[in-house]
Structure 1
C-alpha cells in the first residue's frame, strides 16, 4: 500500500437484484447452474467497478460469489453434513440451525481461488480477500466428531492456511480473517484463538488482517449491543494479544459505536483498519463525520498505519446507500489526507 490512508471495505456489498434478493442478509440465489456461475462473476466485476468509481483504494470482491461469510467456505469441505442440522447458540447471542461436523474435516479442492484470480484480473489496485477465522467457523457449526472446539479450530486453521497460500499465489495482497467470535469468547481467544489464527497465516508473505466487529445490524446483534453500556471495552481483552501476534492489520468497528478510541493505542505498531462507516444504519455519513473519526484515531495510530474502512459488511443495504457510504468514506479520507499533506 503506497497510498497514505488507503481506503478499503471490510467485506460484503449488496448483490444485484438479478442475482439474489435485495436488502436481505444471506439471501438465496435467483439463478442456477452455469447461469449462477456467470451471474456471480458479473456481480464481482460490478463490485470492483463500484469500489473503483467511488474512490476505494484496496479492492475486494464484495463477497458477491458467496451467500454467507462462514458457511460458503464450509460448504466446500468434506466432513460436514449440511442435511443434518442442529440448533446452536451463535456468538452466545442467538439460536441458529447449523450443519453438523460428522467426520474429519478436509479441503478437497480450492474454494475461492478462481474467484480471486478473476478479481486480480479485473483491477490493477491492491486486492484483499476475506476468509472466516478458525474460532468463528467453530462457532457456526455443531461438532459431533471432534467434540472439542479447540481441536476443530486447529483443523480449520490448517485448511485455511492451505486456502490462504493459494490465494496469495493468485495475486491477493491482503488476506483477512473474520473473527467476530473474538469479541465474545475471551478465555478461548487467550487459550488457543490467537494461536489458531497464527497457524492459518503461517508462511504467508501477503499482508494478514483480522477483522473483529460487533456484527451486522441485525436484531440479535443490536439487542446485544444495547446491553453493553456506555463503553464497549471488549477490544481491551484481545488487542494486547494481537499486538504481540504476527498479524499485520487489525480491523475494528468504530463509527457510531461505544468503543473508546484510546483502546487503539493497545495496537501500537500494527496497522489499524478503522471502521469509519456505520453498517447498522442507512443514514449516509458526511465526509466531515468520517474525517472527524479518522482525526480522533490518529491520536493513537500513526498515519502510515491507518486504513479507513467500513465497520463491517454492507450486504443488507440498498445498493445506492452502499455506494453513497463508499463515496463518504473516500471524501472524508481525502479531507484528512489534505490536512496531513499541509
Structure 2
C-alpha cells in the first residue's frame, strides 16, 4: 500500500472543557512544573471518569476534523510535562521555589534521590486512546533534557548524569506505551533552545537513550512556547536544530506559522521527516484551507512531499475548543487540497 502523502497530525494537547478545568487559572500564570491540582473543577473521586469523558470528546473532534494521526489531547495533564516528571522516584513530596528564566519564582519538582521510574505513568492513557480510536495514535512525553531543566536538583553532582537517568526512566515508559498500542511516540524538547551548549553536550545522547529499542515511529518536538503565554515576536530560527538530524528519532516537529520560520532550515534536517507547523495558534481566527495549502506549498519549495507532515505549531490547549476544531479542519482540508495536486 502506498503511504499517504502529507498526513496530518496534532502536536499533543487539545482544549480541556471548561467543566473540567478552570481555564482562567490555566491562562493566568506560567506553565505548571509542579502539580497544580487546583486547576481541576471535578472532585477527586470523579476526576478520572470526567477526564475519560473529556478525552473521548478530544478524540472525536480530531477524527471529525479529518486528522490522520491523533493523540488523547493530553486531557489528563495540567501541563505537557509535569504529570510525568513529578511521578518519578527521587522527587521530594513537596516542590521547591525556583527563579525561572523569566525572573518569576515558581514551584519546581525537587530532586532528592536517584531518578527512577517506579511505576507506569501514561500507560492507562494510551490503553484508553487505543480502545477509543482505530486511527494511528500518538502518545507524547516530555523529553529528558527538558525535564532536567524543569526541576531543582539537590542530589546529582553531575547534571548530565541526571539527564541520562531521566532518559532511562523515559525509555521504560516508552516501551510500555508501545506495548499498549502506540503507533507514534513524541518527546517534547522545547528547552533545547534555552541552553544550546548543554544541549550540544548531552541532548542527542539522552534522546537516543530514551528511544533506544523503540520500534514505532518516534518524534522530537521543538517550539518557542505556547502562543497564549509567549508575547511578542518569536525567533525566526532555532538555536539547536540541525544537530537533531543525528538523533535516532524518525521525525522532527517544529513550529513555523507564527514565527514565520526561515524554511531553509528544513535542509538541515535531512533525511528526517518534518512535522511542520502550518497553523498559527496566536491567530484567534481559524485559517482557511487555502491558507494552510499556501503554507504547505511554500514548505514544498524546501522539502520533498514524502518528508512533510503538516500540523499545528504547538499544543492547542489554550485555544477555545471551537477555534481549535476549526483550525484542525482547515489543516486537514488544506493538506487534502495540496495532496490532490501531487
With normalisation by structure 2, the TM-score equals 0.92
Report the counterpart of residue 314 of structure 1 in structure 2.
316
Report the counterpart of residue 233 of structure 1 in structure 2.
237
Report the counterpart of residue 198 of structure 1 in structure 2.
208
Report the counterpart of residue 286 of structure 1 in structure 2.
288
Structure 1 runs of 4+ aligned residues shifted over 6 Å read: none
Report the counterpart of residue 120 of structure 1 in structure 2.
130
Tell me by how many angstroms 1:44 deviates: 1.1
Q: String of CA shifts for 1:226-261, please: whole Å, max 9, x gaps.
A: 6x4xxx222xx4332111221100000000313201
In structure 2, distance between residues paired with 1:86 and 1:147? 20
Alignment match of 2:306 (pick from 293, 304, 307): 304
**CA contact under 8 A between 1:4 and 1:303: conserved in structure 2?**
yes
Q: Could you say if the C-alpha distance between residues 38 and 4 of structure 1 is closer, same or farther in structure 2, counting changes exceeding 3 Å?
A: same
Within-5 A mapping of 1:128-277: 128-219=138-229, 221-223=230-232, 225=233, 228=235, 232-234=236-238, 237-277=239-279
Q: String of CA shifts for 1:118-167, please: whole Å, max 9, x gaps.
A: 10111111111100001110111111111433121111000000000000
Alignment match of 2:60 (pick from 26, 49, 53): 49
In structure 1, distance between residues paired with 2:131 and 2:335? 27
Report the counterpart of residue 35 of structure 2 in structure 1.
none
Alignment match of 2:111 (pick from 101, 111, 116): 101
Q: CA RMSD in A?
A: 1.8
Report the counterpart of residue 7 of structure 1 in structure 2.
8
In structure 1, distance between residues paired with 2:113 and 2:125? 28
Ranges in structure 2 where 5+ consecutive residues have no aligned partner: 33-37
**Count of residue pairs brought into register by the alignment:** 331
In structure 1, distance between residues paired with 2:105 and 2:186? 26
SS at match of 2:166: helix
Deviates most, 279-288 or 247-256? 279-288
Ranges in structure 1 where 5+ consecutive residues have no aligned partner: none
Report the counterpart of residue 18 of structure 1 in structure 2.
19
SS at match of 2:9: coil
Tell me by how many angstroms 1:222 deviates: 2.2
